Copies of this chain bind each other. A is one copy, B any other.
Amino acid sequence: MKTVKVGLIGTGYIGRCHAIAYAQAPTVFNLQGKLELEYLAEITPELAAQKAQEFGFKRSTGDWRDVVNDPNVDVVDICTPNFLHKEIALAAIKQGKHVYSEKPLALTALEAKEMYDAATQAGVKTLVGFNYMKNPTSQLAREIIRNGEIGEVIHFYGTHNEDYLASPSTPIDWHCYRAKAGLGALGDIGAHIINMAQYLLGEDIVSVSGDLQTVIKQRPDPQDKTKLVEVENEDQASSLLRFASGVMGTIETSRIACGRKMGLTYVITGTKGTISYTQERMAELKLYLHDDDPARQGFKTILTGPLHPDYKPFCVSAGHGIGFNDQKTVEVRDLIVGLTEDKPMWPDFEEGYKVSRILEAIAKSADSKRWVDVNEI
């Protein structure tokens, strides 16, 4: 059994999800290879030590460079705020480590390209944490589309809306600064629906017409709530899209969409049917087939089950339900298989770079009030 040693950098929101996935994946999936939870970095040695104990890592450090430089680490898992992704990834690649990075890959398309190029040249493997496409239900959607069950796709509508910054009284944080986060809602969550669109349709977005808006222009300083600080990036964005084959699409994203807790949704229309999905009901896919008996047509609610991709390892009964962390567990399975069996992993840095270009094209289009080809970026 081949073993790969993981170095985890960052243990906040998403780092914790990785840890749960690391814990669960070996039991859920009966794999040939395995991961060892080798080394963990946080901003102080104390926090690192505490998290290593909680997450089951062997060693810990207060300096992420230790992880990147450690000869016993095979893959570096980057769960830091966005602005550190590039520096850590390049350092890890330089040491010949594989890299498993959270999204968005970088603050700009240029940075993402640098990372993608470095990984390609170094010949290391990469994986980006677009976990929603790992959900068995979205894999089922992909399968239905690939099979041609809804005919040829003619339209894509997708959203990733949340409301984590909906209250104007919520203090400003790093997500709102260009230097720390890059784009706003687009980079933080819009990236997911862009990746999902490309995954589901199996083709790239090639041109866009976007619109961006910062609705809440100032937010309280977290230290002194009477003081207001400028928000530097967009709260909401929409974009018309065209895919490579000419398919029309629209995406929308917002971090101030009241009531949306996990508002990743898509509706994919084909010449023979339609798929509809919302991540808030992550174990349900709605499917309409136009060739059904006209008196018995309708959207069917399919509950994900063992006959669908990557569900059965979780449960042998349909409709029993998969959770958020289960998606990440599938992603970690891909990491284990990718590294211990030398299989391709996806979405890789190339896809991460593509997503960054599209996001930037949307922003550029909004500035210039015209359609922008992704190739312009």
Contact = CB atoms under 8 A, between A and B. Distances in A.
Contacts of A118: none
Given A24-B23, A296-B302, A317-B261, A157 B252 contact: yes
Contact of A324 (B22, B155, B302, B315): B315
Given A163-B290, A258-B288, A290-B259, A26 B56 contact: yes
A55 interface: yes
Contacts of A299: 259, 300-301
Contacts of A23: 23-24, 26-28
Interface string A312-326: 001111111111111
A262 B301 CA distance: 14
Copies of this chain in its oligomeric complex: 4
A166 B290 contact: yes
Given A323-B323, A324-B314, A297 B154 contact: no
B290 A258 contact: yes
B30 A20 contact: no
Contacts of A209: 209, 211, 240, 369
A238 B323 CA distance: 31
Contacts of A154: 213, 215, 236, 256
A257 interface: yes
A168 interface: yes
Interface in A234-256: 236, 238-240, 242, 246, 248, 250, 252, 254, 256
Interface in A340-375: 369-371
Given A20-B28, A254-B155, A290-B167, A259 B274 contact: yes
A4 B250 CA distance: 47
B319 A280 contact: yes
